[in-house]
Amino acid sequence: MGRNGVCSNYDFNTVDFTWQAIRSLRQGTAIFTMPATPIKCAGAPQKIMYLAEDHFRRTGVRDAIRVVYASATPAIFGVAKYRKALEKVVADRGMQTCFRHSLIEVRGDTREAIFTQLDTKQEVVMKFDLLHVTPPMSAPDFIRESPLADKDGWVEVDKYNLQHPRFPNIFALGDASSLPTSRTGAAIRKEAPVLVENLLAHRAGQPLKAKYNGYSSCPLVTGYGKLILAEFDYDGNPAETFPFDQSKERYSMWLLKRWALPVLYWKGMLKGRA
Cβ atoms of 230 and 218 closer than 8 Å: yes
Between the alpha carbon of residue 25 and those of residues 47, 62, 81, 197, the distances in Å are: 18, 10, 33, 51
Bridging pattern class, strands 28-34 and 130-132: parallel
d(CA 14, CA 152): 28
d(CA 132, CA 97): 14
98 included as an active-site residue: no
CB-CB neighbours of 52 under 10 Å: 22
* Amino acid identity for residue 96 in this structure: Q
7 included as an active-site residue: no
- Of residues 159, 218, 239, 232, the one with CA closest to residue 194: 159
| Three-class secondary structure assignment of 123-149 | EEEEECCEEECCCCCCCCHHHHCCCCE
Q: One of 39, 131, 218, 221 is an active-site residue; which one?
A: 218
Q: One of 30, 41, 76, 149 is an active-site residue; which one?
A: 41
Euclidean distance between the first and the last CA atom of the chain, given in angstroms as a whole number: 37
- Tell me which residues are annotated as active site: 41, 218
